[in-house]
Amino acid sequence: MPLQIIVGAQWGDEGKGRIVDWFAAQGDFSARYNGGDNAGHTVTVGSRIFKLHLIPSGIIHPQIVAILGNGMVVNPHTLFDEMDMLRQAGISVSPERLRLSYAAHLITPAHQALDKALEAARGKGNLGTTGRGIGPAYTDKTTRRGLRLADMLAPDFCERIGDHVAEANRTLSMLGAPGLDPAPVCEQYREFAGRLKSHIADTSLELHAALQAGKTVLAEGAQGTLLDIDFGTYPFVTSSSTTAPGALTGLGLGLDAARDARVIGVVKAFQTRVGSGPFPTEVFDDLALRLRGTGEHPWDEYGTTTGRPRRVGWLDGVLLKYAIRINGIRELAVTKLDILSGLKSLQLCTAYRRDGKLFTDLPFGPADLSPYEPVYEELHGWREDVSAVRTWADLPPAAKTYLERLTGLAGVPVRLVSVGPEREQIVNHP
Ligand code: GDP
Ligand code: IMO
Ligand code: MG
């Protein structure tokens, strides 16, 4: 299947990196289409744990060409750190392997300062952003004063960076935050431009040619459906199109590429969220600690980018059904099933109740979930450790029932079940 879109079906951190890495073994191109270094995608290969913020998760496989698409916002500082980390692990990030769209936007220290100042100004009602400058960079993009990667090649780039910092300083001053000295930013970005030049390309053209030649392109979503700028729990969302259609605009692909696309939704076996915003199935106290973990394992629920503890809860079938529709998901990859082992019973949210009425679809999407109360179906838990299970037949009966119920709610099949972070800890359910 030429275009495969791997998209988060919840609030991010579903395990997209881990699933992309699995598909990338058979892939040719691995491409990120949205967001920036607010993302944190983890790939575990034996004792090595790769935390990728910008570079697509397929990069670990040597035959892959990695693409940062036009829909992204790129902080070169993070990019160079990540390139160094990969080089040290013996993974090539040569210009032939790592291609950046000329139309992707740049993130600068001024965007980061604005992100933090805006969050401070929101006070208690803050969004809980990652502080990476994502919102301000997309704001500059939509107000048409952003800096694109191609601008790094222009002779007046330094001047333009200077104007950008001066403009940001006016807003920072209105917010009561200190401004930035443009000179060191210009200097640093001029140096970045020299190092990035050979990676900048028309990646839309390259992906188009690849698809025409029958190559497999893996489009990797960052964040998740419920953080999408249009379809998420607005305003508690990120600033990009995280959903599967965003893969087309974010990579410069036309609708012909979508015709045969395989859309895989990644869903964690329970629900998590980091940052502010509604979360109807959230749990607290001992159960929350049990689902989150204490931080002793690398997979415990603490943000890959910010280290913040993630909020946790029961799987929300109403929001999953919504994600299936908005993305056109045709199959699911369920992750972290192993974490549910040992729980006596499980709750699965199958509907919402409001004023005595049941809802499985919401009149205005997930924008305002506060009037709704989740309706749960209780299912048996299982005692067995599933982390060594490799076939569907070997899963405990209660685990199969849980996955089948989830399939029933979603209306699409579960194709993959991840039972641990390592490459081989996966059950393929063809
Ligand atoms: P992403 O942002 O969607 O790529 O997900 P993150 O990497 O932020 O968070 C997922 C975390 O869960 C990472 O630490 C993964 O290594 C880990 N992980 C992924 N799948 C599994 C699984 O099936 N079981 C366990 N225990 N950990 C997993
Ligand atoms: P991955 O790709 C989970 C959340 C932030 C905040 C909101 C807006 O690893 O799944 P932003 O910095 O984007 O303006 O913050 O979005 N957020 C994520 N939550 N996983 C992510 O990425 C996230 N990227 C942003 O916590 O609530
Ligand atoms: Mg993550």
Q: What is the pLDDT along the chain (430 residues), one digit of tens a residue?
A: 599 999 999 999 999 999 999 999 999 999 999 999 999 999 999 999 999 999 999 999 999 999 999 999 999 999 999 999 999 999 999 999 999 999 999 999 999 999 999 999 999 999 999 999 999 999 999 999 999 999 999 999 999 999 999 999 999 999 999 999 999 999 999 999 999 999 999 999 999 999 999 999 999 999 999 999 999 999 999 999 999 999 999 999 999 999 989 999 999 999 999 989 999 999 999 999 999 999 999 999 998 778 889 999 999 999 999 999 999 999 999 999 999 999 999 999 999 999 999 999 998 999 889 999 999 999 999 999 999 999 999 999 999 999 999 999 999 999 999 999 999 999 999 7
Q: What is the DSSP string of 30-43?
A: EEE-SB-TT--EEE
Nearest ligand to the C-alpha atom of residue 21: 1
Cα(274) to centroid of ligand 2, in Å?
Answer: 7
Pocket of ligand 2 (CB under 6 A): 8, 11-13, 38-41, 127-130, 132, 134-135, 222-224, 227, 238-239, 274-275, 304
**CATH for 105-196, options being 1.10.132.20, 1.10.10.10, 3.30.70.2520, 1.10.300.10:** 1.10.300.10
Which residue's entry shows tokens 């015709």?
259
Nearest ligand to the C-alpha atom of residue 112: 2
Other Cβ atoms closer than 10 A to 74: 23
The stretches of 98-231 forming alpha helices (DSSP H) are 109-122, 134-142, 157-174, 182-196, 203-212
Domain ranges of the chain: 3-91+203-428, 105-196
Q: Which fold has domain 3-91+203-428?
A: Adenylosuccinate Synthetase; Chain A, domain 3 (3.90.170)
On the question of a common fold for 3-91+203-428 and 105-196, the answer reads no
Cβ(13) to ligand 1 under 6 A? Answer: yes
SS3 of residue 168 by DSSP? helix
Atom of ligand 2 nearest to the CA of 224: 10
Exactly one of 21, 28, 41, 316 is catalytic; name it.
Answer: 41
pLDDT at 367: 85
Cα(302) to centroid of ligand 2, in Å?
Answer: 12
- What is this structure's pTM? 0.98
Q: How far apart are CA 241 and CA 246, in angstroms?
A: 5
Q: How far apart are CA 104 and CA 303, in angstroms?
A: 25
Backbone phi, psi, residue 90, to 5°: 80, 20
pLDDT at 307: 85
SS3 of residue 105 by DSSP? strand
Which residues neighbour 94 within 8 Å (Cβ) at sequence distance 6 or greater?
none
Nearest ligand to the C-alpha atom of residue 12: 2
Q: What is the DSSP string of 173-194?
A: HHTT-----HHHHHHHHHHHHH
Atom of ligand 1 nearest to the CA of 18: 19
41 a catalytic residue = yes
Closest by CA to 189, choosing from 238, 139, 148, 223, is 148
Atom of ligand 2 nearest to the CA of 8: 10
